[in-house]
Amino acid sequence: MKIGTLTVPFASQPLKDVLPYLHGLGVKAVELGTSRVTNSAHCNPDVFLGNPDKIKELKQLLEENGMVISALSCHGNPIHPDKKIAAADHKAFVDTVALAQELGVDTIVTFSGCPGDSDGSHYPNWVTCPWPEDFMKVLDYQWNEKLVPYWKEAAAIAKRAGVKVAIEMHPGFCVYNTETMLRLREATDDVIGANFDPSHLFWQGMDAVSAIRELGDAIHYVHAKDCRIDKGNTARTGVLDTKPYGDEINRSWLFRTVGYGHDSQTWKDIISALRMTGYDGVVSIEHEDSLMSVKEGLEKAVQFLQDIIIEEEPAQMWWA
């Protein structure tokens, strides 16, 4: 495995300045944003797509700094009930797949999306319980009329380009846990898989290692991000928290830099479980810790992971 990072937190700086800094920390791969949600300052498809000179320039810059692109990230909601938003995010997906093919990148990261509750909706509607029975009708509409049909077509686009789609299991969208991830994969194609980001699972009460074993080879990519549960706030209000992320002292949970939500043994178990299920790709740091600067959070994350990441294939054991 290799340590990588999403460069979006450094979007205000040119990539030519960011890469040497990352290389000096020991980062070996970068994940570049390509959409409105995942800032595309470093890899805008409008600039690079169909432009061999710009692609050559980017590849040369990466090579000079000992880096590879681990994935392109086009987070968005291509089944948003607002047709303009859906169309823009679908275009970002299609363009990102095409750009990945031109760059020789085999994975893109995105969300499953979430529609409204009907064709007349204005906003997404994330269903979290089965009653009143209206909610089950909403889920049936969302999955059978919107989500599955869209991702069948999107999977075909990705498959023709030789690109895997790693869907981030994120609450607020139709795919938010292992069960919904595997359900969508079963209904579409194996080119659709998971971006395994344990931070979104921890606050739902899930065990990361159990989730990894359940997903198995459906894991296409991995984000390194932690989550800290505030036991006091959770005891009073539960984990379904809509307070702003900046209201840290009152929230039930916070996104944290790896090691600040769960200890090193937890993360060692996560890395080991990934190895046992066959994942040997990049572990990409996603900085969203509101209590640390980007620089501090990233540097602490790299240092933490360097003692945990399993970089080499195991040697042949004498008893094997």
Q: Which two tokens stand for residue 118?
A: 């009907």
Question: How does DSSP assign the chain, residue by residue?
Answer: -EEEEE-GGGTTS-HHHHHHHHHHHT--EEEEE-SSSS--TT--HHHHTT-HHHHHHHHHHHHHTT-EEEEEE----TT-SSHHHHHHHHHHHHHHHHHHHHHT--EEEE------SSTT-SS--------STHHHHHHHHIIIIIIHHHHHHHHHHHHHHT-EEEEE--TTSS--SHHHHHHHHHHS-TTEEEEE-THHHHTTT--HHHHHHHHGGGEEEEEE-EEEE-HHHHHHH-S---S-TT-GGG-SEEEE-TTSSS-HHHHHHHHHHHHHTT--SEEEE----TTS-HHHHHHHHHHHHHTT---SPPPPPTT-
> Does residue 316 have a pLDDT over 70?
no
Encoded tokens for 160: 């023709």
Tokens of 22: 């990352």
β-strand 226-229 against 253-256: which pairing, if any? antiparallel
For the segment 28-47, what is each residue's pLDDT rounded down to a tens digit? 999 999 998 888 899 999 99
For 188-246, write each residue's pLDDT tens digit: 999 999 999 999 999 999 999 999 999 999 999 999 999 999 999 999 999 999 999 99
Distance in angstroms (rounded) separating the CA atoms of residues 61 and 246: 36
Q: Residue 319's pLDDT band (boundaries 50, 70, 90)?
A: low
- What domains, with CATH codes, occur in the chain? 2-306 (3.20.20.150)
Q: What's the token pair of residue 99?
A: 């750009």
pLDDT at residue 158 is higher than 90: yes
Write the CA distances from 137 to 119, 145, 178, 262, integer angstroms. Answer: 13, 11, 22, 38
243-298 pLDDT tens trace: 999 999 999 999 999 999 999 999 999 999 999 999 999 999 999 999 999 999 99
Report whether 219 contacts 187 (CB < 8 A).
no
Token digits of residue 268:
């060692």
Give the per-residue pLDDT at 83. Answer: 97
Hey, what are 176's tokens? 């938010």
Does the pLDDT value for residue 75 go beyond 80? yes
The answer to whether residues 111 and 127 touch, using CB atoms and an 8 Å cutoff, is no
pLDDT of residue 320 exceeding 70 = no
pLDDT range class, residue 50, cuts 50, 70, 90: very high
